[in-house]
């Protein structure tokens, strides 16, 4: 929202400087984006009146004869140049806002005494397709434009969705006045004439439109708006069009009520407000033909028994009834439409307008009459004598009364934590436009908010208003003293556990990513993830229609993006986020692509899989837990490299290599690993996904060992399909309680082993806490292990 400083001063004569206003606005909760001075035209840019326009044979440009107190001629290609219109002329020696200095020039063989200026060349707007038009008597010819366009500023503010009353100059002035400044209330009084209205209005949908007013004026002469008005409209971000359209936009920016002016010749018997019918079409003011939805609210023109669409209610009018140069009669609509209905219509039709922006947030349902009177008053002032405004107007009002709110001043002090005087609180509410009456309850009042404050519905809202106007900076900074309720003890433990898990993953070299929780059935099918059961009613895009059921698809898409941007890796990514199946749960997913430590793994060890598994085991140890992996297939994992993860002996998720079909579908760079691929079919993308919370391991403390350990090595020949986890369980089960360490240090395939066999070599560490073990004792432990292995059918490699 852009506010012209001089415009604000018309309502707040005591308004301080723009720099001080920025501070006051911040205290009211309004953020200032920037303050920018308006460009003041150079002294040699003057007002000129076009006397004659002559075509130059064979040229696209034309010769204009102008009155600037004397006759001069310029050459211009402006298509809207015509006799009788006012314009801005840059004389020789003038300097344009972009720094261009003009001189006397010859164009198409004709001497041009200056340059006819467009809004862009005047630095007031972006339009550069023609002259900036003025009324012929806007200024005496030859008057410097700077006399009408003196120094001024634009204050751009950020409007929060709950405060639509700030979407007008008067609305911001009204809030500032609550700080103690004098406010000039608008009281428009157009001159009225007893004229019979030539139309009627029928409301068929009072839910979508609970108030509709239609006023009438005749004797209209369409032309440019006054100079000051055009400058303010441009500064506020709107392009001037004509005095009638500009009056509606000017009033909307000033008072906050959107409105629409119809050429009264084309509305026949009157207007009907109804829902659209299937198959109906409407050409809107932007020239687009739109197919209407049965949920859209329309303004239609009644002609006998037929009603044809004339506008999308609260969004945009139709092209058939717009104001034209020949318009002499105007029907002025100022209404109140349902915010939700307007928002949905604007979204369906892909239309965002100044009107819909305001109606979506909530327009004052009681400001229509004042806004209509102000617009009609402006038309009479700008056009002059001859404009007749009908004394009668149509006003269908079905708005419900504003409900009072019970307010207890003592509650304000208790809730804010600061003592406020009761009289001070009531004065603040009155300054904000609230009506205050004593309530039947002792020490309480009934406060009726003004109709434009749609955000005030609860007692807490009124408390906030008192604190806001008195000043948040007045609230003392104190450390709250309280003790948590027993029910709240430990409620932050899940969060702390997640943060600790993230720290551990980051410490292992993983980079955290945060993805949207959106997915689609097509994506889930492609990624072989569970089908989504939860869908969104208003999806933003076709590929974001459901909530995700797993995290790993998002990590794969992150990897896709990284490769597309030319990243080389290795990639270690993880995410902690929610997934949505039968219930909402939190998962941890991690992805490894490439060799995190080049040269660490021997060929044949599987490279990335064991690297990821080792990182997971390290994470578990850092969290005081243990991890084991058991072979188990999963649809999204490689059939030969897939396993279930057991965290402290509880199944938590899966780990493995990405299925080659998914890698191919995503066009990832091959499904064959670059670091370790002895058989030529080892995938290079590895991942795991675990359900949180992960069980907590036992808290174990042990002293530093006082006695030396006894070490032994053991190599076991087993079938190829035998896993490390199977051997580990067997060895630990028969080693006895003195086994304190078991590590694999070698995997061997080849002669003299038979095909389909492999050798796993282990380091075994034994220790007694109170003495040194003898060789005889350690050998006994080893014999028990060997006997168990051999009885299972495995052999010991000598």
pLDDT in tens, 619-656: 999 998 999 999 999 999 999 899 999 999 899 999 99
- Give the CA distances from residue 577 to residues 227, 518, 650, 721, 750, in Å, rounded to whole numbers and listed in that order: 57, 12, 21, 35, 45
Strand ranges across the sheet with 306-312: 200-203, 270-275, 297-303, 306-312, 316-317
d(CA 316, CA 241): 16
φ/ψ of 327, rounded to 5, equals -65, 130
CA distances to 125, 150, 216, 242 from 231, in Å: 9, 11, 28, 13
State pLDDT tens for residues 103-135.
888 888 899 999 999 999 999 988 888 999 999
Tell me the three state secondary structure of residue 31.
strand
Question: What are the structure tokens assigned to 132, written together?
Answer: 């900036």
Four-point Cα dihedral 445, 448, 453, 456, nearest 10? 50
548, 586 contact by CB (below 8 A): no
Q: Distance (Å, rounded) from C-alpha 574 to C-alpha 572? A: 7
Task: State how far the Cα of 414 lies from the Cα of 476, in Å rounded to an integer.
Answer: 14
310 and 271 Cβ atoms separated by less than 8 Å: yes
Give the angle subtended at the CA of 658 by the CAs of 653 and 661, to the nearest 5°: 130
What backbone torsions phi and psi does residue 37 show, to the nearest 5 degrees? -75, 145
Q: The tokens of 796 are what?
A: 């010991």
The two tokens of residue 545 are: 């229609």
User: What tokens were used for 764?
Assistant: 């075994």
Those residues of the chain that have pLDDT short of 70 are 480-484, 597-607, 669-683
In sequence order, the β-bridge partners of residue 684 are none
H helices present in 125-261, as ranges? 169-177, 227-235, 243-255
Beta bridge partners of 511: 573
532 within 8 A of 524, measured Cβ to Cβ: yes
What is d(CA 290, CA 349) in angstroms, rounded to the nearest whole number? Answer: 7
CA angle 295, 300, 305 (to 5 degrees): 110
Give the count of beta carbons closer than 10 Å to the beta carbon of residue 785: 24
Bridge-based pairing of strands 571-580 and 511-512 is: parallel
Residue that is written with structure tokens 């219930």 in the block: 583
Place of tokens 């993006």: 561
> At a CB cut-off of 8 Å and minimum separation 6, what does 550 contact?
524, 527, 529, 530, 579, 587, 589, 636, 689
3-state SS track over 42-76 = CCCEEEEEEEEEEECCCCCCEEEEEECCCEEEEEE
From CA 406, how far away is CA 436, in angstroms rounded? 10
Distances (CA, A) of 612 to 22, 617, 705, 734, 736: 55, 9, 31, 29, 30
What is the reported pLDDT for 332?
97
DSSP code of 597?
S
Provide the 3-class DSSP secondary structure of residue 144.
strand
With tokens 């390290």, the residue in question is 618
Q: Nearest-CA neighbor of 581 among 623, 524, 507?
A: 524
Dihedral (CA of 773, 777, 779, 785) sign: negative
Q: What are phi and psi of 780, to 5 degrees?
A: -65, -40
For tokens 């433990």, the residue is 493
Please give the pLDDT value at position 530. 95
Question: In which residue are the tokens 């086994």 written?
Answer: 739
Helix (H) or strand (E) holding 339: helix 339-349
Name 443's Cβ contacts closer than 8 Å, sequence gap at least 6.
Answer: 408, 409, 410
Cα 775–chain centre separation: 72
What is the chain's length?
798
- Half-sphere exposure (Cβ direction) of 320: Cα atoms closer than 13 Å: 15
Secondary structure (DSSP) of 623-637: TT--EEEEE---TTE
Query: Which residue in this structure is represented by tokens 């002792």?
Result: 442
Alpha-carbon distance of 651 to 637, in angstroms, equals 17
Any residues with CB less than 8 A from the CB of 735 and at least 6 apart, and which? 742, 764, 766, 781, 784, 785
Q: Is 5 helix (H, G, I), strand (E, B) or coil?
A: helix
Closest CA to 296 of 334, 257, 335, 346: 346
The residue ranges of DSSP E strands in 137-194, in sequence order, are: 153-158, 192-193
Q: Which residue has the tokens 């095909």?
A: 755
pLDDT for the residue numbered 677: 37
- β pairing state of 270-275 and 435-438: unpaired
What are the tokens at 444? 């309480």
DSSP 318: B
Among candidates 725, 736, 720, which has minimal Cα distance to 785?
Answer: 736
Residue 382's nearest CA partner among 223, 237, 150 is: 223
CA atoms within 13 A on the CB side of 553: 24
């Amino acid at each position: 929202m852009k506010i012209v400083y001089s415009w604000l001063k018309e309502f707040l004569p005591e308004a301080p400087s723009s720099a001080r206003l920025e501070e006051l606005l911040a205290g009211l909760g309004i953020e200032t984006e920037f303050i920018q001075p308006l460009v003041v035209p150079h002294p040699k840019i003057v007002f000129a009146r076009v006397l004659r326009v002559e075509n130059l044979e064979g040229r696209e440009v034309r010769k204009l004869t102008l009155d600037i107190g004397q006759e001069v001629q310029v050459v211009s290609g402006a298509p809207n140049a015509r006799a009788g219109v006012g314009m801005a002329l840059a004389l020789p020696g003038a300097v344009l806002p972009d720094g261009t200095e003009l001189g006397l020039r010859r164009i198409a063989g004709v001497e041009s005494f200056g340059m006819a200026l467009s809004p862009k060349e005047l630095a007031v707007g972006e339009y550069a397709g023609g002259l900036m038009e003025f009324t012929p008597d806007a200024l005496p010819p030859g008057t410097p434009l700077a006399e009408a366009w003196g120094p001024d500023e634009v204050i751009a503010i950020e409007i929060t969705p709950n405060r639509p009353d700030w979407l007008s100059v008067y609305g911001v002035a009204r809030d500032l006045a609550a700080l103690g400044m004098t406010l000039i209330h608008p009281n428009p009084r157009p001159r009225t004439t007893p004229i019979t209205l030539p139309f009627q209005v029928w409301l068929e949908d009072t839910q979508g439109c609970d108030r509709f007013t239609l006023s009438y004026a005749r004797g209209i002469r369409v032309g440019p708006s006054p100079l000051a008005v055009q400058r303010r409209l441009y500064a506020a971000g709107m392009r001037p069009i004509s005095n009638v359209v500009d009056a509606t936009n000017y009033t909307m920016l000033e008072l906050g009520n959107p409105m629409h002016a119809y050429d009264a010749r084309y509305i026949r018997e009157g207007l009907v407000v109804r829902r659209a019918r299937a198959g109906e079409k409407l050409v809107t003011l932007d020239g687009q033909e739109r197919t209407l939805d049965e949920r859209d609210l329309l303004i239609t023109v009644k002609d006998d028994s037929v009603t044809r669409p004339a506008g999308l209610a609260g969004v945009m009018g139709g092209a058939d009834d717009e104001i034209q140069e020949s318009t002499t009669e105007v029907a002025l609509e100022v209404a109140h439409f349902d915010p939700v209905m307007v928002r949905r219509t604007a979204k369906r039709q892909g239309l965002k307008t100044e009107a819909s922006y305001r109606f979506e947030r909530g327009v004052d349902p009681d400001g229509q009459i004042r806004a209509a009177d102000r617009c009609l008053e402006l038309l009479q002032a700008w056009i002059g004598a001859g404009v007749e405004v009908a004394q009668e107007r149509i006003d269908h009002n079905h708005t419900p009364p504003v409900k009072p709110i019970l307010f207890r001043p003592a509650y304000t002090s208790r809730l804010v934590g600061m003592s406020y005087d009761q009289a001070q609180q009531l004065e603040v509410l009155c300054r904000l436009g609230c009506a205050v009456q004593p309530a039947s309850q002792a020490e309480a009042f009934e406060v009726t908010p003004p109709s434009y404050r749609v955000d005030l519905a609860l007692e807490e809202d009124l408390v906030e208003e008192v604190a806001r106007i008195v000043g948040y900076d007045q609230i003392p900074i104190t450390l709250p003293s309280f003790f948590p309720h027993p029910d709240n003890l430990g409620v932050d433990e899940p969060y702390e556990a997640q943060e600790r898990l993230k720290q551990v993953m980051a410490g292992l070299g993983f980079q955290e990513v945060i993805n949207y929780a959106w997915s689609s059935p097509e994506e889930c099918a492609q990624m072989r993830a569970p089908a989504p059961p939860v869908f969104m009613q208003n999806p933003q895009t076709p590929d974001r229609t459901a909530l995700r059921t797993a995290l790993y698809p998002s990590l794969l898409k992150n990897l896709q993006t990284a490769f597309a941007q030319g990243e080389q890796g290795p990639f270690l990514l993880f995410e902690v986020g929610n997934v949505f199946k039968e219930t909402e749960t939190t998962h941890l997913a991690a992805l490894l692509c490439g060799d995190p430590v080049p040269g660490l793994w021997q060929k044949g060890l599987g490279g990335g899989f064991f690297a990821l598994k080792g990182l997971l085991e390290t994470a578990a140890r850092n969290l005081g837990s243990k991890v084991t992996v058991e072979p188990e297939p999963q649809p999204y994992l490689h059939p030969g490299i897939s396993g279930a993860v057991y965290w402290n002996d509880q199944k938590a998720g899966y780990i493995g290599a990405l299925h080659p079909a998914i890698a191919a579908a995503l066009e990832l760079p091959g499904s064959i690993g670059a670091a370790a691929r002895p058989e030529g079919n080892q995938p290079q993308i590895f991942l795991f996904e675990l359900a949180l919370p992960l069980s907590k391991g036992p808290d174990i403390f042990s002293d530093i060992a006082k006695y030396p350990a006894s070490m032994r090595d053991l190599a076991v020949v087993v079938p190829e399909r035998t896993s490390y986890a199977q051997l580990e369980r067997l060895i630990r089960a028969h080693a006895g309680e003195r086994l304190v360490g078991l590590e694999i240090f070698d995997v061997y395939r080849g002669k003299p082993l038979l095909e389909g066999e492999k050798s796993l070599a282990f380091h075994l560490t034994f220790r007694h806490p109170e003495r040194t073990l003898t060789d005889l004792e350690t050998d006994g432990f080893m014999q028990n292990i060997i006997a168990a292995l051999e009885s299972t059918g495995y052999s010991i490699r000598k």
